[in-house]
């Protein structure tokens, strides 16, 4: 009787179908945990905002901002890469008067990132960034240098796609004129794709 029972289980149609045709995941199931391994390439873009802390009546009102980001995972917890920025706007003064209609900036900002919990779907990270830009401002070219420290989270929508949000503090100083540091709170949100070799 035991042999017959075992044979029935082995040749059960339900078991055979599940062996050759695995059942689909239930609707609404959580996405698989990301594989934050050495060799991953991160590609993405983001929108950002900035809140100036230093008192200054003159500022820039950007109308176009592009922030492509590329990173390389050289360790399960560590990533290095760079953010490229392009902004186009209008320099304005108090009262909304346009001083310069062509306020352009192109920059390169290398970064180093530490993932706190690389095996979770909510990947918390800390990041340091430093870099410079070539900016047209006051009808002249300037070279603002930026230091930034920030923290954020990558929420994985899929195993290789994440929604990223970050918030931090930065200081900016003009290398050409040696002006004082201008402090600001910065944040951003964007999509990140993680591609393996």
With respect to residue 91, please indicate whether it lies within any of the assigned structural domains. Answer: yes
Residues of the chain with pLDDT under 50: 2-27, 57-59, 99
Q: CA-CA distance, 24 to 99, in Å (whole number)?
A: 60
The model carries a pTM of 0.70
With respect to residue 103, please indicate whether it lies within any of the assigned structural domains. Answer: yes
With respect to residue 8, please indicate whether it lies within any of the assigned structural domains. Answer: no
Which residue do the tokens 């873009």 mark? 45
With respect to residue 17, please indicate whether it lies within any of the assigned structural domains. Answer: no
Structure token pair of residue 113? 């990132």
With respect to residue 18, please indicate whether it lies within any of the assigned structural domains. Answer: no
CATH number, domain with residue 95: 2.40.160.20
Report the 10 Å Cβ neighbour count for 97: 8
Q: DSSP character for 160? A: T
pLDDT in tens, 38-69: 889 999 987 666 555 555 544 455 556 778 99
Q: Which range marks the domain in which residue 167 is found?
A: 36-195
Q: What is the predicted pLDDT for the residue at 63?
A: 53
Cβ(170)–Cβ(145) below 8 Å: no
């Amino acid at each position: 009787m035991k042999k017959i029972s075992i044979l029935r289980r082995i040749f059960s149609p339900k078991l055979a179908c599940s062996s050759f045709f695995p059942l689909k995941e239930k609707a609404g199931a959580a996405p698989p945990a990301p594989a934050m391994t050495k060799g991953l390439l991160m590609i993405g873009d983001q929108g950002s905002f900035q809140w100036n802390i230093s008192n200054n009546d003159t500022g820039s009102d950007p109308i176009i901002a592009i922030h492509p980001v590329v990173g390389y995972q050289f360790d399960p917890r560590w990533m290095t890469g760079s953010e490229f920025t392009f902004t186009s706007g209008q320099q304005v003064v108090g009262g909304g008067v346009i001083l310069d209609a062509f306020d352009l900036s192109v920059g390169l900002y290398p970064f180093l990132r530490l993932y706190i919990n690389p095996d979770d779907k909510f990947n918390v990270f800390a990041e340091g960034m430093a870099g410079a830009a070539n900016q047209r401002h006051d009808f002249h070219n300037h070279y603002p240098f930026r230091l930034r420290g920030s923290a954020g989270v990558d929420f994985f929508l899929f195993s290789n796609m994440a929604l990223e949000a970050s918030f931090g503090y930065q200081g900016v100083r003009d290398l050409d004129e040696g002006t004082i540091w201008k402090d600001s709170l910065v944040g951003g949100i964007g999509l990140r794709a993680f591609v393996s070799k």
